[in-house]
Amino acid sequence: MPPRVHRLLPGAVSHPRALDAERLRGGLAELRRTAPERAGAVHERARAQCASWSAGFPGNPRTGWVAAGTPDEEEFCEGHRSEPCPALDPETGLCELYAWRPVNCRTYGPPVRIGAEDLPPCSLCFPNAGAAEIEAARITVDPDGFEDAVRACLGADEWTYVAHALGR
């Protein structure tokens, strides 16, 4: 059984990239095969979230692709940060698509470097750590840039939200 999701994880406004979105959709297809009722519930939560987000969406609400890093997108995320990810079972808090979760969910907690961006650690995981201790614990995701090469070959560098990846 997958672990419960850390409550400080960005939830509904986490940003899977195109490859993560494909992996999530593949996981939903597998869940439809093995547990159709649970898959239907995930899909319905995602569709409802997409519908509620259409006004003020910082990108194309029809496709779900986001203009990441813009002031509109940051404001949108701040306004929806407390919403749960649609892949979470509302009763148990478990991720229904745990084996297919995006990279940002897989790496949440420790300080992480993705490309040139240094992401901070979870404040609960490193409560009294100094800057040197945090830097010593930093993990570099994909240090050889394989994902960048795959995205470049596929022409897939867009960002979306979990709801849009699953609500189509």
Question: Could you state, in order of their start, the residue ranges of all structural domains in the chain?
Answer: 11-108+155-166
Closest-CA residue to 165 (of 66, 37, 56, 52): 66
Q: Report the C-alpha gap between 161 and 168 in whole angstroms.
A: 12
Query: Residue-wise pLDDT tens for the chain (168 aa)?
Result: 444 444 444 555 666 778 888 899 999 999 999 999 999 999 999 999 999 988 888 888 888 888 777 788 888 888 887 888 999 999 988 899 999 988 878 888 889 887 777 888 877 788 888 999 999 999 898 888 787 777 777 766 678 888 989 997
Q: Report the C-alpha gap between 40 and 44 in whole angstroms.
A: 6
pTM over 0.85: no
